[in-house]
Amino acid sequence: MDNGIHYRTCHLCEAMCGVAIEVKDGQIASVKGDADDPFSHGHICPKAVALQDLHNDPDRLTRPLRRTADGWEEMEWDAAFDFVAERLYQIRREYGRNAVGTYQGNPNVHNHGAMIAGLPFLRALGTQNRFSATSNDQLPHMLANLEMFGHQVLFPIPDIDHSELMICIGANPMASNGSLMSVPDFRGRLKALKARGGQLVVIDPRRTETAREADEFHFVRPGSDALLLMGMLHTLFDEDLVNLGAAEHWSRDLDLVRLACLPYAPEAVAGHTGVDPTQIRILARRLATTQRAVLYGRIGTSTQSFGGIATWLIYLLNILTGKLDATGGLMFTQPAVDLVALGALSGQRGHIGRRHSRVKGLPEFGGEYPASAMADEILTPGDGQIRAFVTIAGNPVLSSPNGTRMEQALEQLDFMVSVDYYLNETTRHADIILPPTHALERSHYDLIFNMMAVRNVAKFSEPLFQPSANARHDWQILLELAHRLERLKKGGRLGLRQELGWQAFKRLGPDALLDVALRTGPYGQPVGRLQPLLQPATDLIEAILPQRHPLRHLTRLSPLDRRWQDLPKGLSLAALREQPHGIDLGPLQPSLPDRLHTRDGKVNLAPRRYLDDLPRLYRMLMSSPEGGMQLIGRRHVRSNNSWMHNSQRLVKGKSRCTMMIHPSDADRLGIVDGHEAEVTSVAGSIVIPAEITEDVMPGVVSIPHGWGHGRAGTSQRVANAHAGASINDVIRDDQIDPVSGTSILNGQTVQIRARQSEQDRQRA
Ligand SMILES: Nc1nc2c(c(=O)[nH]1)N[C@H]1C(S)=C(S)[C@@H](COP(=O)(O)OP(=O)(O)OC[C@H]3O[C@@H](n4cnc5c(=O)[nH]c(N)nc54)[C@H](O)[C@@H]3O)O[C@H]1N2
Ligand SMILES: Nc1nc2c(c(=O)[nH]1)N[C@H]1C(S)=C(S)[C@@H](COP(=O)(O)OP(=O)(O)OC[C@H]3O[C@@H](n4cnc5c(=O)[nH]c(N)nc54)[C@H](O)[C@@H]3O)O[C@H]1N2
Ligand code: SF4
Ligand SMILES: [Mo]
């Protein structure tokens, strides 16, 4: 690669920080923040610096590896593609298309090529047994988007740059750098919020890094947020604070909401939540009376037993206080590639419960079954059992509930292929591993996170290093497999037209599609000489076709669409290439009711699905609070899910894989700081050093996820030397949020006991 400084977007988390990477003699000399990036203004976190460790990592795989009786053997790409396509095809033919299962992990959404090429690959497989990280993550938000706004990816995002009050529940952006809120430099933006006279309130079972920056903090019992939020909602009605603002004209069924929250007076929910009823009332009043305010919830309110209801209530509280689509509140982005419009155009607004998983009967969402159903579908014999499995950028052994069972399941497959560049806890079970290029060898555009950014921005990054001739991108791997599968399905040969189509797709790659999407998007380039014709044509279509006619979407695929009239124009791949620091497209703007996709064009405040789950919440209210210790998760700024632990720079220092426990619980259980404790559930048990701290609520223990390395046959040397234990070995996969099918990763009950040291044991 050329010497000098290269600008790009860091792909590691949702924040999309601009990085400036200096290359000298073909090597990375430094990684710094790009001060000229209009979105991140020079901010980065320690993980960005570790991009060079990823690049230089001797443990990162670069050639296909196939398992043989004598261990792993390198393979040529072409032979590897044929081998995988044939095995998958055979299994599909013998046992039916659902006999192949797939799991798409988190890094896919940071990789536009893999996202785009994943579609034809899944289509070629044609399996209903699809899984992804979604059901361990943001599914409740997508469900609320679908049920209330009519489109699963129409995400409302906190307009933090204009807020004067942010109430943050179940999220720790100081560690995570924000989620469903791409917010580079959360600390800096918080400082600005405070400088405007604004305040931050944090509600969490742990006094987090974000709580330390807050003006006010409340402990809440894990899993009880729905009751707390109901208490706030009740207060709005009780104290006559409901004021929808503009939303009054485009929302429906407010009366049902009023009825739904009737039983949940703050005084009634206080016992379960651990939050003082006066405080609950004050929180509701502050949200209602602060003009620019937002209530924001994430992992802690979504991956828990009432994830569906809690997320619905968070949206409702914003709407009923006039904060939806209002400056400083919960707003919608207008990204340059509008996946909401594109989804609607192709009839993909989302769906739930069209079919149910074979063994547990769990609902599909957007064509995927919950991750909690994965092991069962592999382990349970019968028609439709998964016999071959494909993981793409995922490590479900560490990241999905009941990892131990997941490992047993992977062990008994007939065939497994992993598209991944590490030999880790999951891929060690594969028959063949196909390692893609790494991020600095490919171009980058954030299709997903621009949809969730606190400002509208666009940026395209060129590859920093040319991949070797013997390397393949994720998109190339997926397209090759898809192409070969389609050929096999057609008896070995495709028609000329199809064959030419595949060749063109493979030659042009995802960036060509990205260019089309940019040009036809809201900020696109109106088409040269055709331009004078386009506007009248658009107007005509809009005039003659009925409001909901599918063809009307066609007019929405042009930068001239009336809703986009006032936006700046001229975006294309070439235009982005000229601006390596990225382009600012302005602050979030009100856009409702135009962008709603519900049938009646209104926000549905009281979807049946949530109302049907209310008896379960009511039963919780009426029962006495459960005893036992509750297990929750946490993130750290130097870690990234399960796969950045092979960087010495990031893992050095004191082990971060500890069990935080309150001194009162530690005393009672005889647990000593720094000594090992055993955490047990029906799923299994782990041993982990205790960290005694008043930062975690009594009755609660906190353990980060993504650890538990050091297993036989894995080859991440640094990670293995800092193994830790996997929280998901004690998290059960037989407990889910029934409304959404989301895993309960926070708030499950566990048993804790001090582990006897070897000496104690000998003495006994
Ligand atoms: N208990 C508990 N469990 C959790 C969570 C929690 O909070 N608590 N969080 C959940 C959440 S939010 C998520 S998103 C999931 C994440 O879990 P997963 O989706 O399973 O993803 P990761 O653990 O990040 O593992 C990513 C894998 O992709 C590989 N990889 C990295 N980059 C690339 C690439 O560019 N291409 C390819 N092909 N492979 C790549 C890595 O080597 C690794 O094997 O974990 C979930 N699990
Ligand atoms: N450094 C770093 N950054 C990351 C990641 C990472 O692994 N490391 N992962 C990325 C991914 S994939 C995601 S999805 C995002 C997630 O982003 P965040 O949602 O901000 O993730 P967490 O830091 O896990 O914050 C969840 C918080 O919920 C709290 N919590 C647990 N249970 C409950 C509960 O029942 N109620 C309430 N109110 N709170 C509860 C936890 O104590 C924790 O503070 O982060 C992304 N960014
Ligand atoms: S906050 Fe996220 S995007 Fe920004 S530098 Fe760190 S890992 Fe990269
Ligand atoms: Mo995630």
Please, where in the chain does CATH 3.30.200.210 lie? 4-56+442-461
Residue of 204, 304, 626 with the most ligand 2 atoms within 8 Å of its CB, for mutation: 204
What does DSSP assign to residue 623?
Answer: S
Atom of ligand 3 minimally distant from the CA of 40: 4
- Please enumerate in sequence order all residues whose Cβ is within 8 A of that of 119, keeping only pairs 6 or more positions apart, or say none: none
What six digits make up the tokens of 244? 């929808």
Shortest-distance Cα residue to atom 3 of ligand 2: 176
Q: What is the pLDDT of residues 35-68, one digit of tens each?
A: 999 999 999 999 999 999 999 999 999 999 999 9
Pocket test residue of 65, 103, 109, 136 for ligand 1, highest count of atoms within 8 A of CB: 136
∠ Cα 297 299 300 (to 5°) = 75
Q: Is 13 near ligand 3, meaning CB less than 6 Å away?
A: yes
Q: What is the pLDDT of residue 518?
A: 94
Half-sphere exposure of 38 (CA within 13 A, CB side): 14
Residue of higher predicted confidence among 385 and 343 = 385
Report the atom number in ligand 3 closest to the C-alpha of 44: 5
Give yes or no for residue 395 CB within 6 A of ligand 2.
no
Closest CA to 646 of 235, 51, 33, 167: 51
- pLDDT interval class at 498 (50, 70, 90): very high
Which residue carries 């096999």 as its tokens? 488
With b for 16 or more beta-carbon neighbours within 10 A and e for fewer, the 566-598 pattern comes to ebeeebbbebbeebbbbbbbeebeeebbebbbb
Give residue 139's pLDDT: 98
Range 523-540 average pLDDT = 68
Cβ 136 under 6 angstroms from ligand 1 = yes
The torsion angles phi and psi of 371, rounded to 5 degrees, stand at -60, -25
State in words which class domain 626-763 has.
mainly beta
- Tell me whether residue 203 is exposed, middle or buried, using C-beta atoms within 10 angstroms of its C-beta: 0 to 12, 13 to 18, 19 or more: buried
What is the average per-residue pLDDT within 544-566?
Answer: 68
Beta sheet of 100-104, edge-to-edge order: 71-74, 65-68, 432-434, 415-419, 388-392, 100-104, 130-132
Nearest-CA residue for ligand 3 atom 6 is 45
294 vs 53, 173, 254, 323, CA distance in Å?
A: 38, 15, 20, 7
706 lines ligand 1 (CB under 6 A): yes
Ranges of CATH 2.40.40.20 domains, the chain = 626-763
128-143: per-residue pLDDT in tens? 999 999 999 999 999 9
Distance CA 597, CA 586 (A): 24
Q: How confident is the model at residue 310 (pLDDT cuts 50, 70, 90)?
A: very high
pLDDT surpassing 80 at residue 441: yes
Predicted local confidence at residue 646, as pLDDT: 98
The verdict on the CB of residue 657 being under 6 Å from ligand 3 is no
Q: Name which residue sits closest to atom 42 of ligand 2, judged by CA.
A: 206
Residue 562: its pLDDT value, please? 76
pLDDT at residue 345, as a whole number: 82
Per-residue pLDDT, 563: 78
Residue 629's DSSP bridge partners are: 750
Query: At 287, is the pLDDT very low, low, confident or very high (cuts 50, 70, 90)?
Result: very high
Q: Which helix (H) or strand (E) holds 313?
A: helix 307-320
422 CA: nearest ligand 1 atom: 42
* pLDDT tens, position by position, 231-259: 999 999 999 999 999 999 999 999 999 99
Query: Which residues are CB-neighbours of 123 under 8 A, at least 6 positions away?
Result: 482
* Pairwise CA distance, residues 65 & 42, whole Å: 39
- CA 694 to centroid of ligand 2, rounded, Å: 19
Distance 655 CA to ligand 2 centre (A): 19
Ligand (nearest to CA of 110): 1
**CATH 3.40.228.10: which residues of the chain?**
156-332+602-612
The rounded distance, in Å, linking the Cα atoms of 133 and 742 is 10
Atom of ligand 1 nearest to the CA of 634: 7
Which atom of ligand 3 is nearest to 640's Cα?
7
Q: How far is CA 520 from CA 59, 253, 345, 460, 583, in A?
A: 42, 37, 13, 17, 17
Residue 171 has pLDDT above 60, yes or no: yes
Q: Is domain 156-332+602-612 in CATH 3.90.1200.10, yes or no?
A: no
Judge if the beta carbon of residue 299 lies within 6 A of ligand 1. yes
List alpha helices for 39-165, DSSP H.
Answer: 46-49, 51-56, 77-95, 112-125, 139-144
Name which of 65, 179, 21, 167 is nearest 641 in CA terms.
179
What percent of the chain lies above the pLDDT cut of 90? Answer: 91
Query: Is domain 4-56+442-461 given the CATH code 3.30.200.210 in the classification?
Result: yes
